[in-house]
């Protein structure tokens, strides 16, 4: 080591330096200073740079995630009301029950020392803990499965996730059940292991009523369909958020770190729907589906024609809003059953979701259909407005029109002969309407098609509204469109939505104003202050007041006229106007070849100043045989025979509900029986003879002590009244006979043969039995006058187009 010698030499030469560190030592201290004073700090700085600058955001986000707890206070979802303030949808608070398996393990308290104070072995402690956890889990599973109705195995499976502190075992539990859970928690000191969080549940008090209009919320309380979906923002309000900084022990860090946002409750929606009218309409739809073997659902819209406020909107199949996944419709269920038996699981799942979609969507605006003859008033209105036809014009009809190689038939195969405009409408005469269409020309026709609002959705406040399907304008107005124009003139070969059609027809009868249909009258906040209010909105005036008046009067004649195609809608005491329709759809059942027909009727009342307009349609009444024109119960398939009487009755019921007095001109074919009790036999006999009735007597006495039928009943002329002289009417009952399909005379005789009386309504003597007040085989007291409705057989425009 030469260094040592050198340094030694130096020390000897310069002893004054000997006590201090040599030059090499100094260099080395500088090296140390470089390492420990500069290098290490440089490394540390780089590491800090990496953490505090490069990774700053990710690390900060992770830190904040563990430091904060967001407590949301849920806003109360707004209520949906009908026009009278009845509640269609309302939110209530419910509880979710949550398990924290982690805390069960943590709560296991085992002595770490034995009775002598000596520490026990880990294994013993662990085993004891395990036993405690096991018994606690069993206790929880047994009791909660009993209280909540959840499978015991499922609870145990969730309890197995010992790392988790959040296992939901029951959602949206009602208060009474939640109370039972609370008692169980208290009694067993399981506060740390089981807890409940607030949630909201949507209740629909009317369950199936207006289901497609109201819609429903999904499990996250977000609107999924209908008004619930479209008004999600208004209804949901804003959840309150409280962000609390917490320490690692889970308690609050101090208010300085907290932020609060109050919850804003949702607004209330006030619809124009009248639950009572809605239920009347739903009943009508349901009865019709039963009566006419309808297989593809039905729709019905009730509106105020002046404002186009929707009073009722029915689409069948419907569903229970409180249980929206379950299929209730018999037809859909039958189809599903069939697929369940024959198809694979995937097919069934697909069919199920299709069926659910079908019941959730509204036929009134989510699908379109061929309007058929119900479209004719619009063509007539356009013709009158343009002056191409006059009320006094006459139209000839030989039963068909040949056009461009097509033969278009009229419902009257032998032709209507010569008829004026009113008659043509009453007859629903296709050749006459084709004539009007040709006089209008395709350009004008298309212009009115546009003006009546058919080229775009109406904008009603429901999601998923579709538009019409019509020929492209260029094709329609070209010479090649002549057949299209002809078929369009009587409402075939194009499709519209029911809501579009009823809105346009409202314009035809309300003085020519095309209104924007609406469902939501107002939106209010929780204090009842009006946030927004819907004023009736006119889109445009389409036709003049005069044209509208004339069309309305034509349509009244359709119902009130002796041979009107809508005469089955006639209800005595009300002025009802309307138009029937039977639409061919070119769809056939793939198995049997039955043609799909949609029978419909649009009606309004009172005819001089309409307050309600109703569009009722049944999609595909099932014919008895593929070739048959009638259903299995013998009802001829047409709008005039099916939708028409049902709608007439519905309109009468709605007018009743709205408080309209029946006009006194009752033209019942029957006779009202006076009160005869207390009269002598002779007096009663004379009174009955004056009314054209005969009598039989029962018992031996001077005075009438009882009578059958009861006073006030209406019976046909010539009926025989039973007078009880000194005896009481025996409380004898007979089974009600089935009168369906019978003529007036047949029905009267059948009833009298069992001791009952006929009280005929509807078209009476000329018609066939349409409905009977008492179901067949129901016991009826002898001598009762049974109400039976008769309708005339009406063929409108079926099978209009042939090659």
Q: Which positions lie near another protein, rule CB under 8 A?
A: 1, 3-4, 7-8, 11, 15-16, 18-22, 24-26, 28-33, 36-38, 40-41, 43-45, 47-49, 51-53, 55-56, 58-60, 62-64, 66-67, 245-249, 253, 257
Nearer Cβ to another protein (59/183): 59
Give Cβ neighbours of residue 797 (< 8 Å, ≥ 6 apart).
Answer: 372, 373, 410, 411, 428, 430, 490, 492, 581, 582
Distance from C-alpha of 204 to C-alpha of 215, rounded to nearest angstrom: 10
In the complex, the smallest distance separating the C-beta of residue 2 from another protein, rounded to whole angstroms, is: 10
In the complex, the smallest distance separating the C-beta of residue 9 from another protein, rounded to whole angstroms, is: 10
Q: What are phi and psi of 447, to 5 degrees?
A: -65, -40
Kindly list the distances between the CA atom of residue 408 and the CA atoms of 452, 536, 599, 656, in Å, as whole numbers in the listed order. 26, 41, 19, 41
Nearer Cβ to another protein (68/672): 68
Distance from C-alpha of 409 to C-alpha of 398, rounded to nearest angstrom: 9
Distance from C-alpha of 313 to C-alpha of 311, rounded to nearest angstrom: 7
Tell me the two tokens of residue 257: 């770190």
In the complex, the smallest distance separating the C-beta of residue 4 from another protein, rounded to whole angstroms, is: 7
Contact criterion met (CB below 8 Å) for 618 and 249:
no
In the complex, the smallest distance separating the C-beta of residue 38 from another protein, rounded to whole angstroms, is: 7
Closest CA to 503 of 549, 468, 546, 464: 468
Contact criterion met (CB below 8 Å) for 381 and 548:
yes
In the complex, the smallest distance separating the C-beta of residue 244 from another protein, rounded to whole angstroms, is: 12
Give Cβ neighbours of residue 687 (< 8 Å, ≥ 6 apart).
Answer: 674, 676, 679
In the complex, the smallest distance separating the C-beta of residue 258 from another protein, rounded to whole angstroms, is: 12
In the complex, the smallest distance separating the C-beta of residue 248 from another protein, rounded to whole angstroms, is: 4
Q: Tell me how crowded residue 611 is: count the other CB atoms within 10 A of its CB.
A: 17
Distance from C-alpha of 212 to C-alpha of 360, rounded to nearest angstrom: 6
Nearer Cβ to another protein (13/529): 13
Nearer Cβ to another protein (19/341): 19
Nearer Cβ to another protein (57/527): 57
In the complex, the smallest distance separating the C-beta of residue 122 from another protein, rounded to whole angstroms, is: 16
Q: Tell me how crowded residue 191 is: count the other CB atoms within 10 A of its CB.
A: 12
In the complex, the smallest distance separating the C-beta of residue 159 from another protein, rounded to whole angstroms, is: 20
In the complex, the smallest distance separating the C-beta of residue 209 from another protein, rounded to whole angstroms, is: 53
In the complex, the smallest distance separating the C-beta of residue 179 from another protein, rounded to whole angstroms, is: 36
Nearer Cβ to another protein (62/562): 62
Nearer Cβ to another protein (40/261): 40
Tell me the two tokens of residue 536: 């009736």
DSSP 461-509: SSTT----B---HHHHHSGGGHHHHHHHHTT-S-BB-HHHHHHHHHHHH
Contact criterion met (CB below 8 Å) for 149 and 177:
no
Nearer Cβ to another protein (29/127): 29
State which H helix or E strand residue 585 sits in. strand 577-588
In the complex, the smallest distance separating the C-beta of residue 30 from another protein, rounded to whole angstroms, is: 7
Nearer Cβ to another protein (32/586): 32
Distance from C-alpha of 452 to C-alpha of 379, rounded to nearest angstrom: 10
Which residues is 246 bridged to in the sheet?
A: 252
Distance from C-alpha of 41 to C-alpha of 613, rounded to nearest angstrom: 88
In the complex, the smallest distance separating the C-beta of residue 28 from another protein, rounded to whole angstroms, is: 5
Distance from C-alpha of 590 to C-alpha of 148, rounded to nearest angstrom: 47
Q: What are phi and psi of 507, to 5 degrees?
A: -65, -35
Nearer Cβ to another protein (3/116): 3
Q: Tell me how crowded residue 47 is: count the other CB atoms within 10 A of its CB.
A: 10
Tell me the two tokens of residue 183: 């008692």
Q: What is the dihedral of CA 466, 467, 469, 470, to 10 degrees?
A: 180
Helix/strand/coil for 623? strand
Nearer Cβ to another protein (58/189): 58
In the complex, the smallest distance separating the C-beta of residue 22 from another protein, rounded to whole angstroms, is: 7
In the complex, the smallest distance separating the C-beta of residue 10 from another protein, rounded to whole angstroms, is: 9
Contact criterion met (CB below 8 Å) for 411 and 800:
yes
DSSP 717-747: TTPEEEEEESSPPP--EEEPPP-TT-BHHHH
Kindly list the distances between the CA atom of residue 210 and the CA atoms of 300, 499, 524, 654, in Å, as whole numbers in the listed order. 11, 15, 21, 16
In the complex, the smallest distance separating the C-beta of residue 15 from another protein, rounded to whole angstroms, is: 6
Nearer Cβ to another protein (64/686): 64
Nearer Cβ to another protein (257/357): 257
What is the Cα gyration radius of the chain?
41
Nearer Cβ to another protein (14/690): 14
Distance from C-alpha of 623 to C-alpha of 327, rounded to nearest angstrom: 25
Burial of 70 from C-beta contacts in 10 A (0-12 / 13-18 / 19+) = exposed
Peptide bond into 184 cis (omega under 30): no
Nearer Cβ to another protein (57/775): 57
Nearer Cβ to another protein (60/391): 60
Give Cβ neighbours of residue 593 (< 8 Å, ≥ 6 apart).
Answer: 626
Nearer Cβ to another protein (9/746): 9
In the complex, the smallest distance separating the C-beta of residue 105 from another protein, rounded to whole angstroms, is: 14
Contact criterion met (CB below 8 Å) for 369 and 617:
yes
In the complex, the smallest distance separating the C-beta of residue 267 from another protein, rounded to whole angstroms, is: 38
């Amino acid at each position: 080591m030469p260094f040592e010698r050198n340094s030694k030499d130096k020390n000897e030469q310069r002893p004054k330096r000997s006590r201090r560190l040599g030059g090499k030592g100094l260099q080395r201290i500088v090296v140390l200073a470089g390492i420990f004073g500069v290098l290490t700090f440089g490394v540390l700085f780089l590491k800090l740079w990496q953490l505090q600058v490069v990774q700053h955001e990710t690390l900060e986000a992770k830190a904040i995630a563990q430091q904060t707890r967001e407590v949301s206070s849920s806003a109360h979802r707004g209520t949906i009301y009908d026009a009278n303030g009845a509640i269609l949808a309302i939110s209530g608070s419910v509880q979710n029950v949550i398990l924290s398996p982690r805390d069960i393990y943590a709560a296991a308290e085992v002595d770490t020392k034995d009775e002598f104070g000596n520490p026990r072995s880990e294994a013993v402690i662990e085993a004891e803990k395990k036993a405690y956890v096991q018994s606690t889990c069993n206790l929880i599973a047994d009791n909660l499965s009993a209280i909540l109705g959840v499978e015991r195995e499922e609870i145990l499976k969730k309890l197995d996730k010992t790392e988790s502190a959040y296992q939901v075992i029951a959602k949206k539990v009602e208060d009474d059940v939640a109370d039972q859970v609370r008692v169980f928690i208290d009694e067993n000191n399981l506060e740390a292991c089981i807890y409940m969080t607030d949630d909201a549940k949507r209740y629909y008090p009317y369950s199936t009523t207006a289901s497609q209009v109201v819609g429903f919320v999904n499990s996250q309380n977000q609107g999924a369909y209908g008004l619930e979906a479209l008004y999600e923002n208004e209804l949901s309000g804003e959840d309150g958020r409280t962000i609390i900084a917490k320490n690692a022990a889970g308690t609050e860090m101090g208010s300085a770190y907290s932020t609060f946002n109050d919850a804003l409750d949702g607004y209330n929606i006030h619809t124009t729907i009248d639950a009572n009218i809605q239920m009347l309409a739903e009943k009508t739809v349901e009865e019709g589906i039963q009566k006419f073997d309808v297989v593809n659902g039905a729709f019905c819209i009730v509106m105020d024609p002046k404002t186009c406020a929707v009073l009722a909107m029915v689409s069948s199949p419907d569903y229970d809003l409180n249980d929206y996944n379950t299929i209730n419709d018999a037809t859909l269920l039958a189809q599903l059953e069939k697929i369940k038996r024959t198809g694979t699981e995937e097919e069934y799942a697909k069919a199920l979701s299709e069926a659910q979609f079908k019941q959730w969507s509204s036929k009134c605006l989510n699908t379109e259909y061929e309007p058929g003859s119900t479209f004719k008033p619009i063509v007539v209105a356009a013709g009158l407005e343009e002056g191409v036809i006059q009320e006094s014009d006459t139209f000839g009809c030989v039963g068909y029109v040949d056009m461009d190689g097509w033969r278009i038939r009229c419902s009257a195969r032998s032709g209507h002969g010569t008829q004026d405009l009113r008659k043509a409408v009453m007859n629903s005469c296709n050749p006459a309407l084709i004539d009007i269409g040709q006089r209008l020309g395709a350009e004008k026709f298309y212009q009115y098609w546009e003006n009546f609002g058919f080229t775009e959705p109406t904008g009603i406040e429901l999601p998923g509204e579709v538009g019409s399907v019509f020929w492209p304008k260029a094709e329609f107005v070209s010479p090649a469109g002549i057949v299209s124009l002809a078929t369009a003139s009587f409402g075939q070969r194009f499709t519209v939505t029911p809501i579009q059609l009823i809105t346009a027809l409202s314009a035809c009868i309300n003085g020519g104003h095309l209104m924007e249909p609406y469902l939501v009258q107002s939106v209010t906040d929780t204090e009842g202050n009006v946030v927004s209010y819907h004023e009736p909105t006119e889109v445009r005036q389409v036709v003049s007041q005069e044209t509208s008046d004339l069309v309305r009067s034509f349509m009244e004649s359709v119902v009130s006229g002796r041979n009107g195609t809508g005469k089955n809608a006639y209800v005595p005491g009300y002025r009802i106007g309307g138009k029937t329709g039977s639409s061919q759809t070119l769809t056939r059942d793939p198995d049997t070849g039955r043609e799909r027909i949609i029978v419909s009727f649009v009606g309004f009342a009172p005819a001089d100043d309409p307050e309600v307009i109703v569009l009722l349609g049944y999609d595909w009444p099932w014919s008895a045989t593929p070739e048959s024109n009638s259903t299995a119960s013998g009802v001829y398939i047409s709008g005039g025979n099916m939708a028409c009487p049902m709608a007439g009755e519905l309109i009468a019921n709605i007018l009743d509900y709205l408080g309209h007095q029946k006009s006194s001109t009752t033209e019942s074919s029957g006779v009202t029986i006076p009160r005869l009790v207390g009269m002598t036999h002779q007096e009663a006999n004379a009174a009955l003879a004056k009314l054209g009735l005969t009598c039989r007597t029962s018992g031996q006495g001077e005075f009438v002590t009882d009578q059958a039928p009861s006073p006030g009943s209406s019976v046909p002329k010539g009926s025989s009244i039973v007078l009880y002289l000194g005896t009481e009417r025996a409380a004898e009952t007979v089974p009600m006979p089935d009168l369906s399909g019978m003529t007036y005379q047949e029905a009267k005789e059948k009833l009298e043969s069992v001791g009952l009386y006929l009280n005929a309504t509807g078209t009476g003597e000329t018609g066939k039995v349409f409905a009977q007040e008492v179901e067949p085989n129901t016991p009826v007291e002898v001598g009762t006058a049974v109400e039976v409705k008769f309708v005339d057989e009406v063929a409108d425009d079926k099978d209009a187009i042939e090659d």
